Structure 1
Amino acid sequence: MQERVLWCFSSCTIKSRLFLAMTLQLRVYVPPHPLIKHWLAVARDAGTPSVLFRSAMTELGRWLTYEAARDWLPTQETAVQTPLDTCPATVIDPQIPVAVVPILRAGLGLLEGAQTLLPLASVYHLGLARDEETLQPHCYLNKLPEKFDPQTRVLITDPMLATGGSIMATMAELTQRGADPSLTRIVCVVAAPPALQKLSEAYPGLIVYTATIDEKLNSKGFIVPGLGDAGDRTFGT
């Protein structure tokens, strides 16, 4: 299996290492896939027009979801009849529910790519807007179910994990409805240490898949170098 970069976040330190032993702390995978690197470069470029930026988001959603699904989707063993004989086979277990939760607006940019790989997943929209003065999120739309089946695999799509406000609010909503953090995956494009540190402290065992990790935020809470406002760039606003 191809090696993937693993960042482990503990409550007091940030450690970079290769894919090693599982520990009860946040794990952040940065897959070294050339297509992920290519579309990240397209998305970062300030000269990329909105229509191409949307394509980049779709492709990043597709390939990051592919990586996230690798050891996450439930399977079951069965047998199939080939034209010549019967043989053992592994299929996705249809009895285990899968849900995708895009954080609006920007999470919709990654949703299309994710759905190409998870076509039968339920989609629950969660709308969060950040107050630019306080940097705190407020919810304007919540289509989450009252209760998740405890076995549900939940995939969250949100291009930017910056201050951590929106993703922490999302995790709080999900867990109070029965979602298991250990069965939850977050797909984002750019992550920053403040958000990852908060997730690590609150939800050890959670796993994040991101195209890159940037080192800092500016005074307005935007990731630097980042890729700007992913929602505005996706929808041309």
Structure 2
Amino acid sequence: MSLQLRVYVPDHPLIKHWLGVSRDRDTPPFLFKSAMVELGRWLTYEACRHWLPTQETTVETPLAVAPATFVDPSQPLAIVPILRAGLALLEGAQTLLPLAAIYHLGLVRNEETLEASCYLNRLPDRFDSETRILLLDPMLATGGSMLAALEELTKRGANLELMRIICVVTAHPALQKLNQTHPKLTIYTAMIDEALNEKGYIVPGLGDAGDRAFGT
């Protein structure tokens, strides 16, 4: 049986609301950044279902002993924002996973060749094989930056089956490419758009997420 990329588009009213805010060309940078923070929060919330390891124990309530389930703090957890735009999602994700280690990865796309190159790499030399990794990038368009990020992660021992990718908007060309190369991946996104324009931008998309989030 062949593997198939798993892509989830959560049917959540708050995700839809903040996606609409982020798509609007008239949204000012401070509000766009807020929309990215909220999308990072709610998409991370959805991605954590049945993903975080837990442990069973008991606690003393004011009245009696009760069973309790906690996220297991002994299991390694990492968040990797792809700079620059991934930083806009980081704040929302980090509020839900405050104990996660943060590793920054900076990638820039050549607008002529659409190839991505790395300008900052703060990944560890080696990931524990049990590390759960949340990879953040608002736009998944051609797939070039994501493939470059995955190459850096896998050669450091990252387990793709324990990884969750958070995107705001994805496009079919990138999903098809990832399905061919890394079918074990799981992606959470607010929307799948159909097409790319001649510059490799998602249409209708939401423009350059990094420029809009940071007002540049």
2:7 is aligned with 1:42: no
| Match 2:54 to one of 75, 79, 82 | 75
- Deviations along 1:192-212, one digit per CA (max 9) or x if unpaired, are 011111111121221000000
- Deviations along 1:20-59, one digit per CA (max 9) or x if unpaired, are xxx8311100001000000000000000000000000000
Task: Give the SS at the match of 1:190.
Answer: strand
Please show how residues 136-155 of structure 1 align to structure 2 within 5 Å.
Answer: 136-155=115-134
The separation in 1 between residues aligned to 2:158 and 2:170, in whole angstroms, is 22
The residue that corresponds to 1:188 in the other structure is 167
Task: Give the SS at the match of 1:56.
Answer: helix
Note the C-alpha offset of 1:229: 0.3
The separation in 2 between residues aligned to 1:74 and 1:205, in whole angstroms, is 19
Give the percent of matched residue pairs that are identical in Structure 1 and Structure 2: 70
**Number of aligned residues:** 215
Please show how residues 182-221 of structure 1 align to structure 2 within 5 Å.
Answer: 182-221=161-200
The separation in 2 between residues aligned to 1:87 and 1:230, in whole angstroms, is 46
TM-score in terms of structure 2 length: 0.98
Task: Give the SS at the match of 2:6.
Answer: strand
2:99 is aligned with 1:99: no
| Match 1:111 to one of 90, 96, 104 | 90
| Match 2:150 to one of 153, 168, 171 | 171
**Counterpart amino acid of 1:205?**
K
The separation in 1 between residues aligned to 2:19 and 2:209, in whole angstroms, is 12
CA RMSD of aligned residues (A): 0.9
**Counterpart amino acid of 1:104?**
L
The answer for unaligned runs of 5 or more in structure 2 is none
Please identify, of 56-65 and 70-79, the stretch whose mean Cα deviation from structure 2 is larger: 70-79
TM-score in terms of structure 1 length: 0.89
The separation in 2 between residues aligned to 1:178 and 1:198, in whole angstroms, is 22
The answer for unaligned runs of 5 or more in structure 1 is 1-22
The residue that corresponds to 2:67 in the other structure is 88
- Deviations along 1:126-170, one digit per CA (max 9) or x if unpaired, are 000000010000100000000001110000110000000000111
Structure 1 segments, 4+ long, off by >2 Å, are none
